Amino acid sequence: MREGWRFLSLVKSFQWNRVWRFGFVGLPPLVALIGLLSLFGLVDIRSSAALGVIRYVTANGVGTVCSQGVPCALQTAVSQSQSDDEVHVAAGTYITTGTPLLLLNKTITVTGGYDSSNWSAAPDPQLNQTILDGQTTAQVVRIEGAVNPALEGFEIRNGVAIQGAGIYNQMGAPLIRNNKIYDNDGTQSGGVGAGIFDDGSATIENNTIYNNHAQANGGGIAVHLNNGLTTISFNEIYDNSAGSFGGGIFLHVNTEAMIEGNVIHNNTADSGAGFGTFGPTAAALQNNMFYQNQASDLGGAVFAAGSMNIWNDTIAANSATTNGGGIFVEVGATVQISNTIIVSNTGSNMTGIRQAIGAGVSGDYNNIFGNTSDPTFSNTIAADPEFINFATFNLHLQSGSPNEDAGDPGTPASLNIDIDHQVRPNGAAVDIGADEIYPDVPGFTLTPVSTSKFVDRGTTAVFTHTLENIGTVADNYTFICSNDRNWVVV
């Protein structure tokens, strides 16, 4: 970042000096100089139109102007847009007038969280909730064609569809980022991928995906016959359910996915409550935390079919009624498990890892404790991993954990950050599990970050915020409230 600013400063200085001299060198040399500079990217001679048009939307917008002063409806703005345009969407609840609520068939960026009284301010989806509501009658977002749109800053809820009640991606490569995707319903006619259904090669990152329900597979996310690599990274995926496979995430036959840095918890399914695959698939799981996922049959956290590489994951306190409370490896599957913590999972047989006859399991440098495993590994640590607070599922590691600097010396170089985006290794070798130890790092989340509400003097107002310690050290936080006008909490 500092290098980038330094370069920008040099460019500005260079351009300023040349402007001062233009009055002396004359017009032809000026034109030649601008042409030369443009070759090096120091002067942008594109028209403003090449940068894309911004259109503005409010929940009660009308007409086709789509300006800050005269905003339009959401689908109107999207329908008018061309490639590389942007649609800025103000806070409010947007409901469907058809199926789906929003059709995206262009490579554009659609961003929620704006304040219609101050469009120039950065979007803040926490403060300016921008809700796309299917009203339990329609699919919410449908992405059609080989397009690459970006969708961010929305709450996507109450969708109903057999595939992709919340978001359906037909074949594109969209970026789905910084959204809340919840209460979407695929519980009829073999529903799949209630939260997100990806038939393309989506990038799904930094979303909160919860309370979505599919009758068949993939309550939170389903990847189905994708035409590339689907990337699912740094999301929180919880309280989703599926009748068959993959309460949190499901991969279907012939799909490929990178699953990285997610917190996947409290999901339910018949098999693979946290993450489940079916048939020949290829998946890489790294730096994820799985906890309290519950399977009524096999694989509380993970049901593995096809090919799967599991590196630096933390799998704790999951359960399966039959086998593999942590991981179940299906017949014919090939799975590598390395640098992974598998602790205190439960089931009727082989509570940590259950390997079916005919399955291939390899790996080493794992921490297996408080549960059983039928595949055996070399360099296994059979000791308490020493989490910060297992009771509250703060699964970061304490300083001095037996997993510190204990990972495989041959860990791939691509495993260079942990679940908190911190650089790894931070020591002689990578730590085992999803977390790389950085001692005594305070950290917390406050949800929601802020609340805005008008309250008459003399009345009682209740504001509920949740404070969670996500750091690696116990810490104290002080709240100071005032009853004065325009009071704030510090």
Q: HEC profile for the chain?
A: CHHHHHHHHHHHHHHHHHHHHHHHHCHHHHHHHHHHHHHCCCCCCCCHHHHCCEEEECCCCCCCCCCCCCCECHHHHHHHCCCCCEEEEECEEEECCCCCCEEECCCCEEEEEECCCCCCCCCCCCCCCEEEECCCCCCCEEECCCCCCEEECCEEECCECCECCCEEECCCCCEEECCEEECCEECCCCCECCCEEECCCCEEECCEEECCEECCECCCEEECCCCCEEEEECCEEECCEECCECCCEEECCCCEEEEECCEEECCEEEECCCEEECCCCEEEEECCEEECCEEEEECCCEEECCEEEEECCEEECCEEEEECCCEEECCCCEEEEECCEEECCEEEECCCEEECCCCEEECECCEEECCCECCCCECCECCCCCEEEHHHCEEEECCCCCCCCCCCCCCCCCCCECCCCCECCCCCCCCCCCCCCCCCCCCEEEECCCCCCCCCCCCCCCCCCEEEECCCCCCCCCCCCCCCCCCCCC
Find out whether 441 and 473 touch, Cβ atoms under 8 Å.
yes
Same-domain status, 318 and 423: yes
Question: Residue 29: which residues within 8 A CB-CB, separation 6 or more?
Answer: none
pLDDT of residue 225: 85
Find the helix or strand (DSSP H, E) in which 295 lies: strand 294-298
Same-domain status, 12 and 99: no
Name the strands in the sheet holding 229-233, side by side, starting at the edge strand that comes first in the sequence: 54-57, 86-90, 109-114, 150-152, 175-177, 203-205, 229-233, 256-260, 282-286, 307-311, 334-338, 360-362
Same-domain status, 173 and 194: yes
Say how many domains are in the chain.
4
Domain membership of residue 138 (yes or no) is: yes
Same-domain status, 80 and 100: yes
Same-domain status, 112 and 213: yes
Same-domain status, 64 and 199: yes
Domain membership of residue 76 (yes or no) is: yes
Same-domain status, 422 and 449: no
Same-domain status, 468 and 419: no
Distance CA 488, CA 480 (A): 8
Would you say how long the chain is, in residues? Answer: 490
Find out whether 72 and 56 touch, Cβ atoms under 8 Å.
yes
Distance CA 160, CA 140 (A): 8
pLDDT of residue 482: 54
- Domain span at 476: 440-490
Domain membership of residue 268 (yes or no) is: no
Q: Helix (H, G, I), strand (E, B), or coil: what is residue 9? A: helix
Same-domain status, 76 and 180: yes
Question: Residue 31: which residues within 8 A CB-CB, separation 6 or more?
Answer: none
Same-domain status, 421 and 447: no
Domain boundary among 439, 462, 480: 439
Domain boundary among 223, 250, 277: 250
Domain membership of residue 478 (yes or no) is: yes
Domain membership of residue 321 (yes or no) is: yes
Domain membership of residue 257 (yes or no) is: no
Domain membership of residue 260 (yes or no) is: no
Distance CA 284, CA 306 (A): 11
The list of the chain residues with pLDDT below 70 reads 1-50, 440-441, 443, 452-455, 457-458, 470-490
Domain membership of residue 270 (yes or no) is: no
Q: Helix (H, G, I), strand (E, B), or coil: what is residue 417? A: strand
Tell me whether residue 115 is exposed, middle or buried, using C-beta atoms within 10 angstroms of its C-beta: 0 to 12, 13 to 18, 19 or more. middle
pLDDT in tens, 229-268: 999 999 999 999 999 999 999 999 999 999 999 999 999 9
Same-domain status, 86 and 221: yes
pLDDT of residue 446: 78
Distance CA 411, CA 413 (A): 6
Same-domain status, 90 and 149: yes
| Residue in the block written with tokens 């300083």 | 399
